[in-house]
Structure 1
Amino acid sequence: MMRALVVGGLLILLMGCSPLKVLNAFTPSGGFSKASDVSYGSDPRNRLDVYTPTNVGPDAPVVVFFYGGSWNSGSRSDYGFVGEALASRGIVAVLADYRLYPQVHYQGFLDDSARAVGWTRQHIAQYGGDPRRLYVMGHSAGGYNAAMLALDPKWLATVSMKPSMLSGWIGLAGPYDFLPIENPEVKPVFFFPDSPPDSQPINHVSSASPPALLIAARDDTLVNPERNTGGMARRLREQGVSVRELYFSKPGHATLVAAFSRPMRSLAPVLDEVADFIHAQDQARVTAAKGD
């Protein structure tokens, strides 16, 4: 009962101003070390933070996280609760900013996302992470960014990488198949009505795509879960790619990512599923290495 009251109270606060700052206020500051404002490119938006678990040995798994905001808004500083949550499970978390509209249109934010992943692969060993255990994850628009890096080889090619260098990708309420665009905030980002078909992640699935974990809110009213999460999962399976597909009833589009925060975890076991997915991929990697 008490937990339900706390969650209910937080949901009310989350409907007010600066909702993510409310979650960060409840986020512990211990259990990790944080490298802040690290540059991965020349633009002021090309900055990232690294969260390294305090009690973890070298060669920990690594997740590069991209936040949502319709490619119009967002800041890594609002998602400290995601960094803390991943670090609490022994995962090195990289939270990256990227350029937004109107500074850039499609494809600028994907260029930045690829640079952030390229920086991570080159430097993450200095922060206790294993570049061979590298994942990309994103929520909403950030889920799109993660999907495009994992599925369309041209983006990681700009940083001398291939999607096969990723151990997997994780999409949280991501838009993967959204033409024609209906959201007025998104239309100019993708040059509507002349939005290019190759801007859609679902068009880049192949048998070589990395394993995926796709999570959505069942009643998401912003990003249609059946078309986007369901459609992507079906396309991946058709190509023989390993995918885990989950839908949760309690959270909505925004609160799906809020479920990473300690006071909101009762909404859905999102953190558990992410950690289990990474563990499963690591086990598969070890098994494959033994078979070689």
Structure 2
Amino acid sequence: MRLFFSFLSILLFCSSCAVKKYKDIPFITSTPKELTANIFVPKKKMKLQPVLLFVHGGNWDSGKKETYGFLGRNFAKKGVVTVISEYTLSPQADYKQMTQEVAKSILWIKNNIEDYGGDPQQIYVTGHSAGGHLVALATMDSSYSYGIDKKDIAGIILNDAAGLDMYSYLQKNPPTSENHYLSTWTKNPETWKKASPITYMDATTPRVLMYWGSKSYASIIEANQDFYTKLKAFQPQLKSIVLKKKTRAYGTPIFLALE
């Protein structure tokens, strides 16, 4: 448990470190379109640093890694090697292909990040909204492992994650062509279940830090609360922390973390 929170404490350290950016580093070259990542590292030479993979949101059909350079620079200034990767968006890809691409980015990190000063033994994954769904599924469903053991993931950080229980959501809101949901999820309820990270929760699930805003979408709040309730059976030291502080986007955020 201490290792998980030692990562968070690093965020308060080394705020004056200069940052070096490696732009458009290929991590998948076998698809019709090469997929790349931007990597942000502290310029100051230090021992191998924790690694954070960030996957952007955008309802599975929008968003781009270039938007989040500020995040990469911020974490790198604090001593965290940060990888911001891309993935193929709907309707060119369904959720499964997207998840495979995220999983392959984790594999690439495991095999290559030491060249950038990152510690392959301290890989954390995080994503916002749809990106939260993709990192959770890629690390919780072992069919996407590509040889990466769940023990290789030091922690999953879910930022206002969408899609944690697509099975329940799509039963209430069947997919249509709007937002390319039919392309992303299909009409098959069994596919929705396979697409839901909550389906794969068990004692081997990596440690989780999750947070969402009290003014987020109702479906996100409901799914996160259900995910937290189920997770608590496997990670009993999980606790909720309510910060009584307004944020520009979502109001009062709720943080759930391991002690």
> Fold-level match, TM-score > 0.5?
yes
Asked whether 1:213 is paired with 2:209, we answer yes
Q: CA deviation at 1:245?
A: 4.4
Look up the SS of the partner of 1:138 in the other structure: strand
In structure 2, the CA distance between the partners of 1:170 and 1:213, relative to structure 1 (3 Å rule), is: same
- In terms of fraction of residues, the more helix-rich structure is 1
Look up the SS of the partner of 1:107 in the other structure: helix
Amino acid at match of 2:62: S
In structure 2, the CA distance between the partners of 1:96 and 1:58, relative to structure 1 (3 Å rule), is: same
What is the rounded CA distance, in whole Å, between the counterparts of 1:190 and 1:146 in structure 2? Answer: 17
Task: Check whether the contact 1:56–1:90 (CA below 8 A) recurs between aligned residues.
Answer: no
What is the rounded CA distance, in whole Å, between the counterparts of 1:211 and 1:219 in structure 2? Answer: 25
What is residue 40 of structure 1 aligned with on the other side?
27
- In terms of fraction of residues, the more strand-rich structure is 2
TM-score (norm. length: structure 2): 0.80
Look up the SS of the partner of 2:98 in the other structure: helix
Q: CA deviation at 1:246?
A: 5.0
Q: Where in structure 2 are the equivalents of 1:139-178 lying within 5 Å?
A: 139-156=128-145, 158=146, 160-175=147-162, 176-178=164-166
What is the rounded CA distance, in whole Å, between the counterparts of 1:202 and 1:112 in structure 2? Answer: 20
Q: CA deviation at 1:204?
A: 0.6
Task: Check whether the contact 2:91–2:180 (CA below 8 A) recurs between aligned residues.
Answer: no
User: 1:180-224 CA distances to partner (integer Å, 9 max, x unpaired)?
Assistant: 333742522111354431111111100111111001011112643
Task: Check whether the contact 1:213–1:245 (CA below 8 A) recurs between aligned residues.
Answer: no
Amino acid at match of 1:190: W
Asked whether 1:70 is paired with 2:65, we answer no
User: 1:84-127 CA distances to partner (integer Å, 9 max, x unpaired)?
Assistant: 12112210000000011111112010110011111111110011
Q: CA deviation at 1:143?
A: 0.3
What is residue 21 of structure 1 aligned with on the other side?
none
What is residue 101 of structure 2 aligned with on the other side?
112
In structure 2, the CA distance between the partners of 1:85 and 1:223, relative to structure 1 (3 Å rule), is: farther
In structure 2, the CA distance between the partners of 1:186 and 1:109, relative to structure 1 (3 Å rule), is: same
Unaligned runs of 5+ in 2: 1-16
TM-score (norm. length: structure 1): 0.72
The percentage of counterpart residues that share the same residue type is 23
Q: CA deviation at 1:241?
A: 5.8
Task: Check whether the contact 1:187–1:193 (CA below 8 A) recurs between aligned residues.
Answer: no
Look up the SS of the partner of 2:46 in the other structure: coil
Q: CA RMSD in A?
A: 2.8
